[in-house]
Structure 1
Amino acid sequence: MEIFILAFFGLGYLILAGADIGIGMLLPYLGRTPGERREVIAAIAPFFLGNEVWLVATAGVLAGLFPHVEEVLLAGNFVTIVALVTAWVIRDMGLWLRGRVPGARWQAFWDGAIVAGSWGLALAWGTLFSEILLGVSWPAAILPALAVAALYGTHGLAFATLRLRGHLHDRAGVLAKGSGEIGTYALTTGALVLVGVLVGLRLPLEGGSPFLVPVILVLIPFLVASQAWVWWIFRHPVTGPSYL
Protein backbone atom coordinates (compact mmCIF):
# COMPACT_ATOMS: atom_id res chain seq x y z
CA MET A 1 0.00 0.00 0.00
CA GLU A 2 2.84 2.39 0.84
CA ILE A 3 4.33 1.97 -2.64
CA PHE A 4 1.00 2.75 -4.31
CA ILE A 5 0.66 5.91 -2.22
CA LEU A 6 4.13 7.05 -3.24
CA ALA A 7 3.41 6.27 -6.90
CA PHE A 8 0.11 8.15 -6.73
CA PHE A 9 1.70 11.37 -5.52
CA GLY A 10 4.95 11.08 -7.48
CA LEU A 11 3.32 10.31 -10.82
CA GLY A 12 0.65 12.91 -10.15
CA TYR A 13 3.36 15.53 -9.76
CA LEU A 14 5.16 14.48 -12.94
CA ILE A 15 1.98 14.67 -15.01
CA LEU A 16 0.50 17.87 -13.59
CA ALA A 17 3.57 19.97 -12.82
CA GLY A 18 5.36 18.63 -15.89
CA ALA A 19 3.01 20.72 -18.02
CA ASP A 20 3.83 23.86 -16.02
CA ILE A 21 7.54 23.23 -16.36
CA GLY A 22 7.28 22.57 -20.09
CA ILE A 23 5.31 25.73 -20.79
CA GLY A 24 7.78 27.77 -18.74
CA MET A 25 10.69 26.29 -20.70
CA LEU A 26 9.12 27.26 -24.02
CA LEU A 27 7.69 30.63 -22.98
CA PRO A 28 9.84 32.60 -25.48
CA TYR A 29 8.57 30.38 -28.31
CA LEU A 30 4.92 30.33 -27.26
CA GLY A 31 4.69 34.00 -26.30
CA ARG A 32 6.70 36.38 -28.48
CA THR A 33 5.30 39.64 -27.11
CA PRO A 34 4.58 40.71 -23.52
CA GLY A 35 0.85 40.33 -24.14
CA GLU A 36 1.25 36.86 -25.61
CA ARG A 37 3.43 35.76 -22.71
CA ARG A 38 0.80 36.90 -20.21
CA GLU A 39 -1.81 34.85 -22.04
CA VAL A 40 0.48 31.80 -22.15
CA ILE A 41 1.14 32.11 -18.42
CA ALA A 42 -2.63 32.34 -17.89
CA ALA A 43 -2.81 28.77 -19.20
CA ILE A 44 -1.06 27.50 -16.06
CA ALA A 45 -1.95 30.26 -13.58
CA PRO A 46 -4.90 28.45 -11.92
CA PHE A 47 -2.98 25.20 -11.54
CA PHE A 48 0.71 25.62 -10.77
CA LEU A 49 0.38 26.13 -7.01
CA GLY A 50 -1.96 23.16 -6.65
CA ASN A 51 0.38 21.07 -8.78
CA GLU A 52 3.28 21.85 -6.45
CA VAL A 53 1.28 20.39 -3.57
CA TRP A 54 1.83 16.98 -5.17
CA LEU A 55 5.60 17.40 -4.85
CA VAL A 56 5.29 18.47 -1.23
CA ALA A 57 3.06 15.45 -0.61
CA THR A 58 5.58 13.16 -2.35
CA ALA A 59 8.37 14.48 -0.13
CA GLY A 60 6.18 13.96 2.93
CA VAL A 61 5.40 10.38 1.93
CA LEU A 62 9.10 9.69 1.40
CA ALA A 63 9.99 11.14 4.79
CA GLY A 64 7.18 9.37 6.64
CA LEU A 65 6.92 6.02 4.87
CA PHE A 66 10.32 5.56 3.23
CA PRO A 67 12.91 7.34 5.41
CA HIS A 68 15.72 5.20 3.98
CA VAL A 69 14.95 6.32 0.42
CA GLU A 70 14.90 9.96 1.49
CA GLU A 71 18.30 9.51 3.12
CA VAL A 72 19.76 7.87 0.00
CA LEU A 73 18.41 10.57 -2.31
CA LEU A 74 19.64 13.46 -0.19
CA ALA A 75 23.03 11.98 0.62
CA GLY A 76 23.95 10.99 -2.90
CA ASN A 77 22.40 13.90 -4.80
CA PHE A 78 22.70 16.89 -2.49
CA VAL A 79 23.89 19.32 -5.17
CA THR A 80 21.15 18.22 -7.56
CA ILE A 81 18.47 18.62 -4.88
CA VAL A 82 19.75 22.11 -4.01
CA ALA A 83 19.74 23.04 -7.71
CA LEU A 84 16.19 21.71 -8.05
CA VAL A 85 14.88 23.71 -5.09
CA THR A 86 16.73 26.84 -6.26
CA ALA A 87 15.24 26.55 -9.75
CA TRP A 88 11.80 25.99 -8.22
CA VAL A 89 12.10 29.20 -6.18
CA ILE A 90 13.39 31.21 -9.16
CA ARG A 91 10.58 29.99 -11.41
CA ASP A 92 7.90 30.81 -8.84
CA MET A 93 9.43 34.22 -8.13
CA GLY A 94 9.20 34.97 -11.83
CA LEU A 95 5.54 33.94 -11.98
CA TRP A 96 4.57 36.02 -8.95
CA LEU A 97 6.69 39.12 -9.55
CA ARG A 98 6.49 39.65 -13.32
CA GLY A 99 3.21 41.58 -13.08
CA ARG A 100 3.74 43.38 -9.78
CA VAL A 101 5.55 46.43 -11.19
CA PRO A 102 4.80 48.02 -14.57
CA GLY A 103 7.58 48.25 -17.10
CA ALA A 104 8.90 46.19 -19.99
CA ARG A 105 12.33 45.63 -18.44
CA TRP A 106 10.88 44.40 -15.17
CA GLN A 107 8.58 41.95 -16.91
CA ALA A 108 11.32 40.79 -19.28
CA PHE A 109 13.64 40.09 -16.34
CA TRP A 110 11.09 37.95 -14.52
CA ASP A 111 10.01 36.24 -17.72
CA GLY A 112 13.66 35.24 -18.04
CA ALA A 113 13.52 33.93 -14.48
CA ILE A 114 10.50 31.79 -15.41
CA VAL A 115 12.36 30.31 -18.38
CA ALA A 116 15.62 29.78 -16.47
CA GLY A 117 13.84 28.29 -13.46
CA SER A 118 11.78 25.96 -15.65
CA TRP A 119 14.86 24.74 -17.51
CA GLY A 120 16.64 24.34 -14.18
CA LEU A 121 13.80 22.22 -12.85
CA ALA A 122 13.70 20.03 -15.95
CA LEU A 123 17.48 19.49 -16.01
CA ALA A 124 17.64 18.90 -12.25
CA TRP A 125 14.94 16.24 -12.47
CA GLY A 126 16.70 14.75 -15.48
CA THR A 127 19.99 14.62 -13.58
CA LEU A 128 18.33 13.02 -10.57
CA PHE A 129 16.59 10.42 -12.75
CA SER A 130 19.88 9.72 -14.54
CA GLU A 131 21.61 9.03 -11.23
CA ILE A 132 18.85 6.67 -10.13
CA LEU A 133 18.29 4.86 -13.43
CA LEU A 134 21.75 4.84 -14.99
CA GLY A 135 24.05 5.46 -12.07
CA VAL A 136 25.66 8.47 -13.77
CA SER A 137 26.03 11.99 -12.43
CA TRP A 138 27.02 15.35 -13.87
CA PRO A 139 28.55 15.90 -16.45
CA ALA A 140 27.88 12.40 -17.82
CA ALA A 141 24.18 12.90 -17.07
CA ILE A 142 23.83 15.84 -19.47
CA LEU A 143 22.44 13.79 -22.37
CA PRO A 144 19.78 11.87 -20.40
CA ALA A 145 18.95 15.08 -18.53
CA LEU A 146 18.38 16.85 -21.85
CA ALA A 147 16.16 13.96 -22.97
CA VAL A 148 14.03 14.38 -19.85
CA ALA A 149 13.92 18.14 -20.43
CA ALA A 150 12.74 17.52 -24.01
CA LEU A 151 9.97 15.32 -22.64
CA TYR A 152 8.89 18.08 -20.26
CA GLY A 153 8.89 20.58 -23.11
CA THR A 154 6.81 18.27 -25.32
CA HIS A 155 4.36 17.70 -22.46
CA GLY A 156 4.09 21.46 -21.98
CA LEU A 157 3.32 21.99 -25.66
CA ALA A 158 0.66 19.29 -25.53
CA PHE A 159 -0.96 20.93 -22.51
CA ALA A 160 -0.75 24.37 -24.12
CA THR A 161 -2.78 23.15 -27.10
CA LEU A 162 -5.58 22.27 -24.68
CA ARG A 163 -5.48 25.65 -22.93
CA LEU A 164 -4.75 28.25 -25.63
CA ARG A 165 -6.75 29.64 -28.53
CA GLY A 166 -6.10 31.28 -31.87
CA HIS A 167 -2.56 31.70 -33.15
CA LEU A 168 -1.11 30.75 -29.75
CA HIS A 169 -2.96 27.44 -30.00
CA ASP A 170 -1.63 26.92 -33.51
CA ARG A 171 1.91 27.68 -32.35
CA ALA A 172 1.65 25.21 -29.48
CA GLY A 173 0.11 22.55 -31.71
CA VAL A 174 3.21 22.07 -33.85
CA LEU A 175 3.57 18.50 -32.51
CA ALA A 176 -0.12 17.64 -32.40
CA LYS A 177 -0.83 17.44 -36.12
CA GLY A 178 -0.91 13.67 -36.43
CA SER A 179 -2.35 12.29 -33.19
CA GLY A 180 -4.48 15.30 -32.24
CA GLU A 181 -4.40 17.46 -29.13
CA ILE A 182 -5.73 14.94 -26.63
CA GLY A 183 -3.78 12.11 -28.22
CA THR A 184 -0.51 14.04 -27.98
CA TYR A 185 -1.18 14.91 -24.35
CA ALA A 186 -1.94 11.25 -23.64
CA LEU A 187 1.33 10.19 -25.28
CA THR A 188 3.47 12.63 -23.30
CA THR A 189 1.61 11.71 -20.12
CA GLY A 190 2.30 8.04 -20.76
CA ALA A 191 5.99 8.77 -21.37
CA LEU A 192 6.27 10.66 -18.07
CA VAL A 193 4.49 7.84 -16.24
CA LEU A 194 6.90 5.33 -17.77
CA VAL A 195 9.91 7.36 -16.63
CA GLY A 196 8.43 7.72 -13.16
CA VAL A 197 7.71 3.99 -12.86
CA LEU A 198 11.22 3.06 -14.02
CA VAL A 199 12.72 5.43 -11.47
CA GLY A 200 10.50 4.02 -8.73
CA LEU A 201 11.51 0.46 -9.54
CA ARG A 202 15.15 1.41 -8.97
CA LEU A 203 14.57 2.89 -5.52
CA PRO A 204 15.17 0.81 -2.36
CA LEU A 205 11.55 1.04 -1.24
CA GLU A 206 11.75 -0.40 2.25
CA GLY A 207 8.67 0.74 4.14
CA GLY A 208 8.89 2.67 7.37
CA SER A 209 6.13 3.36 9.86
CA PRO A 210 2.78 1.99 8.62
CA PHE A 211 0.82 4.13 11.07
CA LEU A 212 0.80 7.08 8.67
CA VAL A 213 -0.95 5.12 5.94
CA PRO A 214 -4.52 5.54 7.30
CA VAL A 215 -3.95 9.29 7.74
CA ILE A 216 -2.71 9.66 4.17
CA LEU A 217 -5.59 7.59 2.81
CA VAL A 218 -8.04 9.91 4.57
CA LEU A 219 -6.36 12.99 3.10
CA ILE A 220 -6.11 11.73 -0.49
CA PRO A 221 -9.82 12.20 -1.35
CA PHE A 222 -9.67 15.82 -0.19
CA LEU A 223 -6.62 16.48 -2.36
CA VAL A 224 -8.19 14.83 -5.39
CA ALA A 225 -11.51 16.61 -4.85
CA SER A 226 -9.87 20.03 -4.55
CA GLN A 227 -7.76 19.41 -7.64
CA ALA A 228 -10.80 18.21 -9.60
CA TRP A 229 -12.77 21.28 -8.52
CA VAL A 230 -10.05 23.65 -9.74
CA TRP A 231 -9.78 21.83 -13.05
CA TRP A 232 -13.56 21.93 -13.51
CA ILE A 233 -13.76 25.66 -12.77
CA PHE A 234 -10.95 26.45 -15.23
CA ARG A 235 -11.72 23.72 -17.76
CA HIS A 236 -12.18 26.09 -20.69
CA PRO A 237 -9.26 27.45 -22.75
CA VAL A 238 -8.00 30.85 -21.65
CA THR A 239 -9.31 33.92 -23.42
CA GLY A 240 -6.93 36.54 -22.04
CA PRO A 241 -4.28 37.34 -19.43
CA SER A 242 -4.64 36.31 -15.79
CA TYR A 243 -3.63 37.90 -12.49
CA LEU A 244 -0.01 36.91 -13.18
Structure 2
Amino acid sequence: METLAIVLLGFFAAGYFVLAGADIGTGMLLPFLGRTDRERRLVIASFAPFFLGNEVWLIASAGLLVGCFPDLEGELFTGQFGVLVPLLVAWVVRDMGLWLRGRVGAPAQGSVPGGGRAWRAVCDGAVVCGSWVVSLSWGRLLAALFTGAPDTPATGLSAIVAALAVAALFAAHGLGFAAVRLTGLPYERTRRLTGRTRAWQSFALTGALMAALPLLAGLSLPLAASAADGTTLALLVPALLLITPLLVATQAWTWWTFRHRVNRPSYL
Protein backbone atom coordinates (compact mmCIF):
# COMPACT_ATOMS: atom_id res chain seq x y z
CA MET A 1 0.00 0.00 0.00
CA GLU A 2 2.89 2.35 0.70
CA THR A 3 4.18 1.88 -2.83
CA LEU A 4 0.76 2.53 -4.33
CA ALA A 5 0.38 5.69 -2.25
CA ILE A 6 3.78 6.95 -3.43
CA VAL A 7 2.92 6.18 -7.06
CA LEU A 8 -0.41 8.01 -6.76
CA LEU A 9 1.25 11.04 -5.17
CA GLY A 10 3.80 11.18 -7.97
CA PHE A 11 1.05 10.77 -10.56
CA PHE A 12 -1.09 13.60 -9.18
CA ALA A 13 1.88 15.93 -8.65
CA ALA A 14 3.24 15.31 -12.14
CA GLY A 15 -0.24 15.78 -13.60
CA TYR A 16 -0.58 19.13 -11.86
CA PHE A 17 2.75 20.44 -13.12
CA VAL A 18 2.06 19.34 -16.70
CA LEU A 19 -1.55 20.56 -16.87
CA ALA A 20 -1.63 23.59 -14.60
CA GLY A 21 1.88 24.52 -15.68
CA ALA A 22 0.44 25.21 -19.13
CA ASP A 23 -2.08 27.82 -17.99
CA ILE A 24 0.29 29.32 -15.40
CA GLY A 25 3.02 29.68 -18.01
CA THR A 26 0.63 31.22 -20.52
CA GLY A 27 -0.53 33.69 -17.87
CA MET A 28 3.08 34.67 -17.24
CA LEU A 29 3.44 35.61 -20.92
CA LEU A 30 0.13 37.48 -21.23
CA PRO A 31 1.71 40.95 -21.84
CA PHE A 32 3.98 39.54 -24.55
CA LEU A 33 1.38 37.41 -26.32
CA GLY A 34 -1.51 39.90 -26.09
CA ARG A 35 -0.74 43.53 -26.92
CA THR A 36 -4.37 44.72 -27.08
CA ASP A 37 -7.36 44.03 -24.87
CA ARG A 38 -8.89 41.73 -27.46
CA GLU A 39 -5.64 39.82 -27.92
CA ARG A 40 -5.27 39.37 -24.17
CA ARG A 41 -8.83 38.04 -24.01
CA LEU A 42 -7.89 35.61 -26.78
CA VAL A 43 -4.84 34.43 -24.82
CA ILE A 44 -6.94 33.95 -21.68
CA ALA A 45 -9.56 32.09 -23.73
CA SER A 46 -6.84 29.59 -24.73
CA PHE A 47 -6.66 28.21 -21.17
CA ALA A 48 -9.99 29.36 -19.70
CA PRO A 49 -11.71 25.94 -20.13
CA PHE A 50 -8.86 24.14 -18.37
CA PHE A 51 -7.50 26.07 -15.41
CA LEU A 52 -10.05 25.03 -12.78
CA GLY A 53 -9.85 21.36 -13.75
CA ASN A 54 -6.06 21.56 -13.74
CA GLU A 55 -6.06 22.86 -10.17
CA VAL A 56 -7.95 19.77 -9.03
CA TRP A 57 -4.71 17.83 -9.46
CA LEU A 58 -3.00 20.03 -6.87
CA ILE A 59 -5.91 19.59 -4.46
CA ALA A 60 -5.71 15.82 -4.98
CA SER A 61 -1.95 15.89 -4.34
CA ALA A 62 -2.38 17.91 -1.15
CA GLY A 63 -5.19 15.66 0.07
CA LEU A 64 -3.15 12.52 -0.57
CA LEU A 65 -0.15 14.05 1.19
CA VAL A 66 -2.23 14.91 4.26
CA GLY A 67 -3.98 11.54 4.42
CA CYS A 68 -1.21 9.12 3.45
CA PHE A 69 1.95 10.95 4.55
CA PRO A 70 0.94 12.95 7.65
CA ASP A 71 4.44 13.22 9.13
CA LEU A 72 5.90 14.59 5.91
CA GLU A 73 2.93 16.91 5.50
CA GLY A 74 3.52 18.35 8.97
CA GLU A 75 7.20 18.99 8.26
CA LEU A 76 6.47 20.46 4.85
CA PHE A 77 3.68 22.82 5.82
CA THR A 78 5.50 23.99 8.96
CA GLY A 79 8.97 24.34 7.51
CA GLN A 80 7.90 25.85 4.18
CA PHE A 81 5.24 28.17 5.59
CA GLY A 82 7.04 31.24 4.26
CA VAL A 83 7.02 29.75 0.75
CA LEU A 84 3.53 28.25 0.74
CA VAL A 85 1.77 31.42 1.87
CA PRO A 86 2.94 33.52 -1.13
CA LEU A 87 2.16 30.59 -3.41
CA LEU A 88 -1.42 30.26 -2.12
CA VAL A 89 -2.02 34.02 -2.06
CA ALA A 90 -0.74 34.37 -5.63
CA TRP A 91 -2.92 31.43 -6.69
CA VAL A 92 -6.02 33.15 -5.27
CA VAL A 93 -5.06 36.54 -6.76
CA ARG A 94 -4.52 34.99 -10.16
CA ASP A 95 -7.86 33.18 -10.13
CA MET A 96 -9.65 36.32 -8.93
CA GLY A 97 -8.14 38.23 -11.85
CA LEU A 98 -9.45 35.62 -14.27
CA TRP A 99 -12.93 35.41 -12.75
CA LEU A 100 -13.50 39.14 -12.19
CA ARG A 101 -11.93 40.46 -15.37
CA GLY A 102 -15.14 40.65 -17.35
CA ARG A 103 -17.59 40.97 -14.46
CA VAL A 104 -16.72 44.18 -12.59
CA GLY A 105 -16.17 47.74 -13.66
CA ALA A 106 -17.73 47.58 -17.11
CA PRO A 107 -19.39 50.82 -18.31
CA ALA A 108 -22.72 49.03 -18.62
CA GLN A 109 -22.67 48.55 -14.85
CA GLY A 110 -22.54 52.27 -14.16
CA SER A 111 -18.81 52.83 -13.93
CA VAL A 112 -17.09 55.96 -15.19
CA PRO A 113 -16.04 56.02 -18.87
CA GLY A 114 -12.93 53.90 -19.30
CA GLY A 115 -13.51 52.18 -15.98
CA GLY A 116 -13.99 48.85 -17.69
CA ARG A 117 -10.66 49.19 -19.47
CA ALA A 118 -8.88 50.16 -16.26
CA TRP A 119 -10.43 47.28 -14.35
CA ARG A 120 -9.41 44.78 -17.01
CA ALA A 121 -5.86 46.13 -16.83
CA VAL A 122 -5.86 45.56 -13.06
CA CYS A 123 -7.14 42.01 -13.52
CA ASP A 124 -4.57 41.32 -16.23
CA GLY A 125 -1.89 42.51 -13.83
CA ALA A 126 -3.26 40.14 -11.18
CA VAL A 127 -3.10 37.23 -13.64
CA VAL A 128 0.46 38.01 -14.71
CA CYS A 129 1.86 38.77 -11.25
CA GLY A 130 0.01 35.86 -9.68
CA SER A 131 1.32 33.47 -12.33
CA TRP A 132 4.91 34.65 -11.84
CA VAL A 133 4.75 34.41 -8.05
CA VAL A 134 3.24 30.92 -8.24
CA SER A 135 5.99 29.68 -10.54
CA LEU A 136 8.78 31.32 -8.53
CA SER A 137 7.33 29.91 -5.30
CA TRP A 138 7.27 26.42 -6.77
CA GLY A 139 10.89 26.88 -7.77
CA ARG A 140 11.96 27.82 -4.26
CA LEU A 141 9.92 25.00 -2.74
CA LEU A 142 11.41 22.45 -5.13
CA ALA A 143 14.90 23.73 -4.30
CA ALA A 144 14.29 22.70 -0.69
CA LEU A 145 12.73 19.36 -1.62
CA PHE A 146 15.66 18.45 -3.89
CA THR A 147 17.95 18.63 -0.87
CA GLY A 148 15.74 16.21 1.07
CA ALA A 149 15.01 18.82 3.74
CA PRO A 150 11.27 19.61 3.55
CA ASP A 151 11.38 21.33 6.93
CA THR A 152 14.04 23.88 5.89
CA PRO A 153 13.38 26.66 3.33
CA ALA A 154 15.95 27.00 0.57
CA THR A 155 18.04 30.16 0.84
CA GLY A 156 20.99 31.78 -0.88
CA LEU A 157 22.06 31.71 -4.50
CA SER A 158 20.86 28.13 -5.06
CA ALA A 159 17.29 29.08 -4.12
CA ILE A 160 17.36 32.07 -6.47
CA VAL A 161 18.74 30.03 -9.36
CA ALA A 162 16.24 27.23 -8.79
CA ALA A 163 13.31 29.65 -8.60
CA LEU A 164 14.33 31.41 -11.82
CA ALA A 165 15.00 28.13 -13.64
CA VAL A 166 11.64 26.64 -12.69
CA ALA A 167 9.85 29.89 -13.61
CA ALA A 168 11.60 29.83 -17.00
CA LEU A 169 10.41 26.25 -17.53
CA PHE A 170 6.84 27.27 -16.63
CA ALA A 171 7.06 30.09 -19.19
CA ALA A 172 8.45 27.76 -21.88
CA HIS A 173 5.66 25.26 -21.17
CA GLY A 174 3.08 28.02 -21.44
CA LEU A 175 4.64 29.13 -24.72
CA GLY A 176 4.33 25.62 -26.10
CA PHE A 177 0.71 25.47 -24.99
CA ALA A 178 0.00 28.86 -26.57
CA ALA A 179 1.49 27.66 -29.85
CA VAL A 180 -0.99 24.78 -29.85
CA ARG A 181 -4.03 26.88 -28.94
CA LEU A 182 -3.70 30.41 -30.35
CA THR A 183 -4.36 32.01 -33.72
CA GLY A 184 -3.61 35.37 -35.30
CA LEU A 185 -0.96 37.77 -34.02
CA PRO A 186 -0.65 36.07 -30.58
CA TYR A 187 0.16 32.82 -32.37
CA GLU A 188 2.74 34.53 -34.58
CA ARG A 189 4.47 35.89 -31.47
CA THR A 190 4.74 32.40 -30.02
CA ARG A 191 6.32 31.14 -33.22
CA ARG A 192 9.05 33.75 -32.98
CA LEU A 193 10.29 31.99 -29.85
CA THR A 194 9.42 28.37 -30.62
CA GLY A 195 10.93 28.61 -34.12
CA ARG A 196 10.40 25.83 -36.64
CA THR A 197 9.63 23.24 -33.96
CA ARG A 198 6.16 21.78 -34.32
CA ALA A 199 3.80 23.13 -31.68
CA TRP A 200 2.94 19.73 -30.19
CA GLN A 201 6.61 18.71 -30.10
CA SER A 202 7.55 21.79 -28.09
CA PHE A 203 4.62 21.30 -25.72
CA ALA A 204 5.42 17.59 -25.27
CA LEU A 205 9.08 18.31 -24.50
CA THR A 206 8.35 20.95 -21.87
CA GLY A 207 5.57 18.72 -20.51
CA ALA A 208 8.06 15.89 -19.94
CA LEU A 209 10.40 18.28 -18.13
CA MET A 210 7.54 19.64 -16.01
CA ALA A 211 6.50 16.11 -15.02
CA ALA A 212 10.07 15.31 -14.05
CA LEU A 213 10.26 18.16 -11.50
CA PRO A 214 8.02 16.69 -8.77
CA LEU A 215 9.16 13.14 -9.49
CA LEU A 216 12.82 14.03 -8.98
CA ALA A 217 11.92 15.97 -5.84
CA GLY A 218 10.06 12.93 -4.53
CA LEU A 219 13.18 10.77 -4.87
CA SER A 220 14.87 12.92 -2.23
CA LEU A 221 12.02 12.69 0.28
CA PRO A 222 11.51 10.00 2.96
CA LEU A 223 8.10 9.03 1.62
CA ALA A 224 8.10 5.40 2.76
CA ALA A 225 9.28 6.30 6.26
CA SER A 226 6.61 8.97 6.68
CA ALA A 227 3.68 6.93 5.35
CA ALA A 228 0.58 6.49 7.49
CA ASP A 229 -0.17 3.21 9.25
CA GLY A 230 -1.38 0.21 7.29
CA THR A 231 -5.01 0.56 8.35
CA THR A 232 -5.20 4.15 7.11
CA LEU A 233 -3.53 3.31 3.82
CA ALA A 234 -5.81 0.30 3.34
CA LEU A 235 -8.78 2.66 3.60
CA LEU A 236 -7.50 5.62 1.56
CA VAL A 237 -5.53 4.03 -1.26
CA PRO A 238 -8.39 1.88 -2.69
CA ALA A 239 -10.68 4.91 -2.58
CA LEU A 240 -8.11 6.95 -4.49
CA LEU A 241 -7.69 4.16 -7.02
CA LEU A 242 -11.43 4.32 -7.69
CA ILE A 243 -11.47 8.11 -8.06
CA THR A 244 -8.37 8.43 -10.22
CA PRO A 245 -9.85 6.96 -13.45
CA LEU A 246 -12.79 9.36 -13.14
CA LEU A 247 -10.45 12.31 -12.75
CA VAL A 248 -8.37 11.22 -15.72
CA ALA A 249 -11.47 10.62 -17.87
CA THR A 250 -12.92 14.02 -17.00
CA GLN A 251 -9.63 15.74 -17.77
CA ALA A 252 -9.27 13.87 -21.06
CA TRP A 253 -12.83 14.79 -22.06
CA THR A 254 -12.19 18.48 -21.32
CA TRP A 255 -8.99 18.61 -23.33
CA TRP A 256 -10.58 16.72 -26.22
CA THR A 257 -13.66 18.96 -26.26
CA PHE A 258 -11.57 22.14 -26.36
CA ARG A 259 -8.77 20.76 -28.52
CA HIS A 260 -9.29 23.24 -31.36
CA ARG A 261 -7.48 26.55 -31.62
CA VAL A 262 -9.30 29.58 -30.26
CA ASN A 263 -10.25 32.33 -32.67
CA ARG A 264 -12.40 34.55 -30.49
CA PRO A 265 -12.37 35.74 -26.86
CA SER A 266 -14.28 33.90 -24.16
CA TYR A 267 -16.53 35.35 -21.46
CA LEU A 268 -13.40 36.12 -19.41
Matches within 5 A, 1:36-47: 36-47=39-50
Report the residue type matching 2:24 in the other structure. Answer: I
1:34-93 residue CA offsets vs partner (Å, 9 max, x unmatched): 110000000000000000000000000101111122112112110101111000000000
Which of residues 110, 119, 137 in structure 1 aligns to 2:154?
Answer: 137
Confirm or deny that 1:80 pairs with 2:83: yes
Aligned residues: 244
Q: Mapping of 1:57-136 within 5 angstroms?
A: 57-101=60-104, 102=106, 103-134=116-147
| Structure 2 Cα separation of the partners of residues 139 and 29 of structure 1 | 30
Q: 1:217 corresponds to which letter in structure 2?
A: L
Partner of 1:55: 58
**What CA distance in whole angstroms lies between the structure 2 residues aligned with 1:11 and 1:242?**
28
**Structure 2 gap ranges (5+):** 107-115
Counterpart in the other structure of 1:12: 15
Query: Partners of 2:7 and 2:192 in 1: how far apart?
Result: 35
1:164–1:238 contact (8 Å) kept in structure 2: yes
Task: State the Cα distance separating 1:181 from its structure 2 match.
Answer: 0.9
Distance apart, 1:176 and its partner CA: 2.4
Larger mean CA deviation between 123-132 and 186-195 belongs to 186-195
Partner of 1:236: 260
Name the residue aligned to 1:172.
190
**Partner of residue 109, structure 2:** none
1:28 correspondence with 2:52: no
In structure 1, stretches of 5+ residues that fail to align are none
Q: Distance in 2 between matches of 1:41 and 1:30?
A: 10
Quote the sequence identity (%): 53
Match of 2:239 in 1: 215
Deviation per residue, 1:100-140 (Å, 9 max, x gap): 13211000011000001000100110010011114662453
Q: Secondary structure at the match of 2:195?
A: coil
What amino acid maps onto 1:4 in structure 2? V
1:158 equivalenced with 2:176 (yes/no): yes
Amino acid aligned to 2:121: A
Q: Which amino acid aligns with 1:221?
A: P
Cα separation, 1, equivalents of 2:209 and 2:77? 26
Cα contact 1:158–1:173 (8 A) shared by 2: no
1:243 maps to amino acid: Y
Q: Secondary structure at the match of 1:79?
A: helix
Corresponding residue number in structure 2 for 1:196: 214
Asked whether the 8 Å contact 2:14–2:213 carries over to 1, the reply is no
Alignment partners' CA distance in 1, 2:156 and 2:26: 26
Contact 2:14 2:212 in 1 (8 A): no
The alignment's C-alpha RMSD in Å is 1.2
- Displacement of 1:156 in angstroms is 0.1
1:69 to 1:173, Cα distance in 2 relative to 1, 3 A: farther
